[in-house]
Structure 1
Amino acid sequence: MATIDGLPPLREVIATHGLAAKKSLGQNFLLDLNLTAKIARQAGELSDCDVLEIGPGPGGLTRGLLAEGARRVLAVEKDARCLPALAEISDAYPDRLQVINADALQLDPLEHLTPPIRVAANLPYNVGTELLVRWLTPPQWPPYWQSLTLMFQREVADRIVARPGSKTYGRLSLLASWRAEARIVMTLPPEAFTPPPKISSAVVHITALPEPRYPADPKVLEQVIARAFNQRRKMLRAALKGLKPDIEDRLIASGIKPTDRAETVKLEQFCALARAVAAP
């Protein structure tokens, strides 16, 4: 795999360009090109898609995506030190890789992408959750992306796919399951990365549904979920106090006991509650 594109192994690339991972940027580099190609394959058929990659670093996953046939990759990298290494990949794949030196939280990628679009990334740990929430809560649905194939710390991945009743069930799992299908497709040990993080990582594949599973106003639903889980140990009548004067009646009308706690309430019930809260 190290010579599939005629480019040097990633350890050599890092040494040549002095790319020691920066903790301040949440960087943990994945150097095994067999693994990066496997992650790229989890993203599905790429030959007719543009792929958005956030935080490519020295370009391990970038090379995997291009080698697996991505029509075009837009790589958004905040760390200017990585640009020369990414330029070498761009030269090896003419007209198929665009690199932008920018903060992903400040960039509108649609200015540079042509649908259909998939997102694949070994996300920097310090912005991964915020980017995921943005991708799951756009103003319109369906979103611009068909699927998200994302690397997270294992504990975050578990929160995304959690079910009611579990300790990891919460805002991320509800947002993901409301309008998408999410599953863990790979797990990776700390030693797969440089430097090795303290915990395992996992790749989550999220496919957008054509429409939400249950009707609800997105902003109201987010507000209800946020309040419910901000005080997840409290009964919902207490956690949601102040949302509406008659919140207990609205909970009951939604099929939820006022004494229930957030972690036991199903997505369908939260959507019903959002509709009840939005009603006059």
Structure 2
Amino acid sequence: MSAIDDLPPLREVMAAFGLDPKKALGQNFLLDLNLTAKIARQAAPLEGATVVEVGPGPGGLTRALLATGAARVIAIEKDRRCLPALEAIAARYPGRLDIVSADALAIDLRALAGGPVKIVANLPYNVGTQLLLNWLTVPDWPPGWSDLTLMFQREVAERIVAAPATDHYGRLGVLAGWRTRARIAFDVPPQAFTPPPKVTSSVVRIEPLAEPLPAPLAGLETITAAAFGQRRKMLRQSLKALGGATLLEKAGIDPQRRAETLEVAEFVRLANCL
């Protein structure tokens, strides 16, 4: 692996600070600095940008973001064991790395950064989907982030970018398709991580749409939860508690269709009629 800076290799950092990955925190550390640099390049342009990183661990991606030119990186780390390793990186890049010891699920990005940020992260598997939902469902749009470059399990990545009438299409695909453009950039094999997960991972690039179709967020969440909660049933049955056939007729949608066949725009119509 090629060096991106003059800091020690990540395995030495882990040994020096006793950073054994914790399963309870969903930690799978990415130690190949070539791969972390590849992720950082997907987030380009970084020059002059403020980047928020969630779950930096020993700091492999943190180092890549700084070496690639990010003006400022805000690293949010819940595991206090990782803080000394991150402080060593901050010393190497004076004034460019802010370390926040906190749970990212409880962080207000606008208050934290004071302006639009890029979010780049190898997200902990156990909270990755919820973090993305939090970022997709902020009440004010455009959001406090300019783009997301995130690593998920491959199955979750497929759900984010899924199109109608495909197996992975569901609530997550509708919410992502409503407000953003999302694509899978590349896959990362299990053996790239310590410890290796049982699944392939994927890096996803997500950019917000300036003007999504107007819809009440609460209504869209209610409709998608009901529709995909019984996805094999016809919509007249899965949406029965919300008006069923009457609601579908008002939205101009055949009540015999199933949730996975609806386009994002049709879910928006249902939310507006609700």
Task: Identify the TM-score tier after normalising by the shorter chain.
Answer: over 0.9
**Which amino acid in the other structure matches residue 261 of structure 2?**
T
Take 2:217 and 2:207, find their aligned partners in 1: how far apart are those partners? 18
Maintained 8 Å contact 2:4/2:33 = no
Structure 1 unaligned spans of 5+:
none
Query: Where in structure 2 are the equivalents of 1:103-142 lying within 5 Å?
Result: 103-142=103-142
**Pair 1:203 & 2:200 matched:** no
Aligned to 1:229: 228
TM-score (norm 1): 0.95
Paired residue secondary structure (1:74): strand
Aligned to 2:22: 22
Aligned to 1:190: 190
Maintained 8 Å contact 1:49/1:116 = no
Aligned to 2:254: 257
Could you give the per-residue CA deviations for residues 180-234 of structure 1, whole angstroms, max 9, x where no partner exists?
100000101100100000000000000011111x221111011101110011111
Measured after TM superposition, the shift of residue 5 of structure 1 is 2.0
Measured after TM superposition, the shift of residue 257 of structure 1 is 1.2
Total equivalences in the alignment: 274
Aligned to 2:265: 268
Maintained 8 Å contact 1:51/1:74 = yes
Paired residue secondary structure (1:242): helix
Could you give the per-residue CA deviations for residues 106-139 of structure 1, whole angstroms, max 9, x where no partner exists?
2223333143310000000111000000100101
Seq. identity, %: 59
**Which amino acid in the other structure matches residue 274 of structure 1?**
A
Take 1:257 and 1:114, find their aligned partners in 2: how far apart are those partners? 46
Maintained 8 Å contact 1:158/1:168 = yes
**Pair 1:243 & 2:242 matched:** yes
Cα RMSD, aligned residues only: 1.1
Aligned to 1:56: 56
TM-aligned CA distance change 1:270 to 1:109, over 3 Å: closer
**Which amino acid in the other structure matches residue 95 of structure 1?**
G
Structure 2 unaligned spans of 5+:
none
TM-score (norm 2): 0.97
Paired residue secondary structure (2:52): strand
Take 2:109 and 2:99, find their aligned partners in 1: how far apart are those partners? 11
Could you give the per-residue CA deviations for residues 29-85 of structure 1, whole angstroms, max 9, x where no partner exists?
000001101101101211121111000000011001101101100000000110110
Take 1:116 and 1:171, find their aligned partners in 2: how far apart are those partners? 26
